[in-house]
Amino acid sequence: MAAAAQSVSAQLIQLSPAVRDSHALLASARQDFFKVAFDGDALDPKTKGAVALTAALVQGNEETVRSFLAIAKQLGLNNEEIGQVAGIVEALKPETQQRPAPQAAAAAAAPVKKASTCC
């Protein structure tokens, strides 16, 4: 998996040696945790791939999605299965939950506002 670019705060942490050293310990612990979470065998590989892809899609970072999409495919997910994973993520997004079906239909039936002609 390609290494993600450091966040601005992660870069600024380097300015304080004590904070930097503690952060390095945290980073190492996170890597160990990642390995334990991923290597566990309660889930079969394909399900693990689907779950990881789901988390990446929810997080929304394009590079993370790219990396875990590749891993999902390496673990056996095909396009249709990936499409369903993405569909579930999209269906459960907060904006969708705030617009139940009847209100969405009413909004669709309302007169269309003309686009502004300014600028």
Which of 15-23, 44-52, 59-67, 97-105 is the region at the interface with another protein (rule: CB under 8 A)?
A: 59-67
Determine the Cα–Cα distance for residues 42 and 80; give it in Å rounded to an integer.
24
Residue 14 or 84: the one with the smaller Cβ distance to another protein is 84
Tell me if 76 sits within 8 A of 49, measured CB to CB.
Answer: yes
- Residue from 78, 84, 96, 103 touching another protein (CB under 8 A): that is 78
DSSP 6-63: PPHHHHHGGGSHHHHHHHHHHHHHHHHHHHHHHH-SSS-HHHHHHHHHHHHHHH--HH
Position 9 contacts another protein (CB under 8 A): no
Among 76, 90, 93, 96, binds another protein (CB under 8 A): 76
Q: Which residues bind another protein (CB under 8 A)?
A: 1-2, 62, 65-66, 69-70, 73-74, 76, 78-79, 82, 116, 118-119
